Amino acid sequence: MTTPNLVILGGGEDQLPAYVEGRRLGYRIIGVDQRPDALGAKLSDEFLCVTTREPDAIAGQLGDVDVAAFISPASDVAQSSVAELNERYRGVRQPSPKAVEASQDKSYFHSVVAELGFPVYAFAQSDSVDKLLTAANDIAFPMVVKPTDSSGSKGLSLVDNADELPEAIAVARKHSFSGEVIIEEFVQGRHFSVERFSQDGQAALTVVTERGLTPMPHMISMSHLVPAALDPSVQERLESMVDAILDRVEHLSGPVNLDFILADDGRIHFVEMGARLGGNGMPLLVEQALGVNTVQAAINLAVGKPMAMERHEEQQFVMLRILAADQDGSLNGVYGADEVAELPGVIDVRLFKKTGDSVRRYTQAAHKLGYLLVSAPSREELLARVDGAVQTLQFDIHPNPSENNQ
């Protein structure tokens, strides 16, 4: 009997768990990434060096093969290819066209939220700098500027006045595949993420995490903590709103990740969504906190098998802390990793860089150095343990100030 092929679009850190889990489940892994040195290349049975955004090019290299499913965890830009290739090879359009559009076009997602009557904030989107500068007259500062079709906080910045806006738009455009940029009203509040699994229109799993962000102007995810400190009435309202959004974009089965802000006035403002597994180590966090293997669940759903969603009876406090550099340069060494691994509550120290590698200042999620996963019986103890581990782990970086920080 021929081993079924699982095709994974993307070979970065956040796709690696799918390579490992797919092989454990008995699939032959075909990896796809435009970088020949992508981490996924070494874990693939077959590797296609091609961009994940061109389904015709991927199909041209795949040829006539049997495919169990196409997936792309933690990548919004690849979801249109996932949907088209699943339909071409399997006759299944998954994710739905509306879910793909909501994942790849932030203004469309905002329009969905508005149509449902949920809180919205002012925004404008265009590929014209002049139109954006004009629209900014109706949006108060500070203002968030970012590419409309990118993820991982690429090209994102917060500007305080009109003088800073042209430069922020130019930076965002560099990271936009379409050349479109969105400017948004800044909402003051607490930041959260939702990792949700649905099957046949019903919620199978909903996990809310508290997001810790880097300082302005970049505001990139630095940590996720569960359980989130949410009032039960807010949690109930949130889940009802998520149900409505997924119904509107026809995302009835599969994983989805949404970011939202709980504003100071108690309103929930959705920021964006991705019809795929969350990135930044979200599967590691969920499995440790709840005992649910979301990567296995995502693969099973993609190939048409039932999900396995058994979870712990009791939930502990767990944080996924991203390890990052504060400057560009070369990694001369990592010190304290063995000591950190022995600290109370430290579950995993996962490094993506080795001595001699180039590293980048943490201005986007792709520049991460690794993950630190820590648990504790209380929130206060968890924060203390994470702080102690971060202080113990040291990265020796030889600076290279000539590199562009964007």
Q: What is the pLDDT of residues 83-127, one digit of tens each?
A: 999 999 999 989 999 999 999 999 999 999 999 999 999 999 999
What's the whole-number mean pLDDT along residues 321-336?
Answer: 95
Write down the residue that tokens 């961009």 correspond to. Answer: 51
pLDDT reported for residue 313 = 58
Q: Is the pLDDT of residue 336 over 80?
A: yes
- Per-residue pLDDT tens digits for 36-79: 999 999 999 999 999 999 999 999 999 999 999 999 999 999 99
CA distance 84 to 86: 6
**What value, to the nearest 5°, has the Cα angle with vertex 187 and ends 181 and 189?**
135
Backbone angles phi, psi at 149, to 5 degrees: -125, 25
Ramachandran quadrant class, 377 (left: phi over 0; alpha: psi -120 to 50; beta: rest): alpha
Nearest to 243 by CA among 228, 231, 229, 258: 258
The band of 149, judged by pLDDT with boundaries at 50, 70 and 90, is confident
Which residues have CB under 8 Å from 83's CB, separation 6+? 93, 94, 95, 96, 97, 100
**How is residue 52 written in tokens?**
């994940």
CA dist 134 → 216, 265, 347 (Å): 24, 29, 50
| Whether the predicted pLDDT of 403 surpasses 90 | no
Identity of the residue numbered 272? E
8 Å CB contact between 281 and 371: yes
Q: Say what the pLDDT of residue 355 is.
A: 94
> What is the per-residue pLDDT across 150-184, written as a single tens digit (0 to 9) for each?
776 788 999 999 999 999 999 999 999 889 999 99
Structure tokens at 139: 């949006």
**Percentage of the chain lying above the pLDDT 70 cut:** 97
For 5-41, write each residue's pLDDT tens digit: 999 999 999 999 999 999 999 999 999 999 999 999 9
Nearest-angstrom CA–CA distance, 6 and 19: 9
Q: What is the model's pLDDT at position 150?
A: 78
Say if residue 218's pLDDT is above 80.
no
Q: Decide: 65 and 81 in contact? Cβ < 8 Å.
A: no
Q: What is the mean pLDDT of residues 196-204?
A: 93
Lowest pLDDT segment from 135-139, 199-203, 217-221, 396-400: 217-221
Query: What is the average pLDDT across 128-146?
Result: 95
Q: Could you report the per-residue pLDDT of 277-302, keeping only the tens digit for each?
A: 999 899 999 999 999 999 999 999 99
Query: pTM of the full predicted structure?
Result: 0.93
Roughly what angle, to the nearest 10 degrees, separates helices 294-303 and 282-290? 110
